[in-house]
Structure 1
Amino acid sequence: MDLQNIISEWGWLIAAAVLIGLEILAPGVFFLFFAFAAFIVAGVSWVFNFGWQIEVLIFASIGVVSMVWGRKYFKNNQIIAEDHPINDPMAAFLGDVVTLHTAIENGTGKANIKDSVWTVLGPDAEAGAQVKIVDKQGQKFIVELV
Structure 2
Amino acid sequence: MVIFEHLGPWAWFVLGGVLLVAEIAVPGAFLLWLGIAALATGILAYTVDLGWQSEVLAFAALAVAAVLVGRKVSPAPGHASDRPFLNRRAEGFVGRVFTLESPIQGGIGRVHIDDTVWRIEGPDLAAGTDVTVVAIDGAVLKVAPAPPPAA
TM over 0.5: yes
- Percent identical among aligned pairs is 25
In the TM superposition, residue 51 of structure 1 has moved relative to its aligned partner by 0.9
Number of the residue aligned with 1:37: 37
- Extract unaligned runs of 5+ from structure 1: none
**Normalising to structure 2: TM-score of the pair?**
0.58
Q: What is the total number of aligned residue pairs between the two structures?
A: 138
In the TM superposition, residue 86 of structure 1 has moved relative to its aligned partner by 5.9
User: Higher strand share goes to which structure?
Assistant: 1
Runs of 4+ in 1 over 6 A off after TM superposition: none
**Normalising to structure 1: TM-score of the pair?**
0.60
Tell whether 2:102 aligns with 1:102: yes
In the TM superposition, residue 38 of structure 1 has moved relative to its aligned partner by 0.8
User: Higher helix share goes to which structure?
Assistant: 1
Pairing 1:1-146 to 2, within 5 Å after superposition: 3-4=4-5, 6-8=7-9, 10-26=10-26, 28-46=28-46, 48-52=47-51, 53-68=53-68, 70=70, 77-79=76-78, 84-85=84-85, 88-93=88-93, 100-104=100-104, 109-113=109-113, 114-119=115-120, 121=122, 124-126=125-127, 129=128, 134-139=132-137, 140-142=142-144, 144=146
In the TM superposition, residue 23 of structure 1 has moved relative to its aligned partner by 3.0
Letter in 2 for 1:23: E
CA distance 1:141–1:116, shift in 2 (3 Å)? same
Distance 1:124 1:26 in 2: 51
Computed over aligned residues only, the root mean square deviation of the Cα atoms, in angstroms, reads 4.4
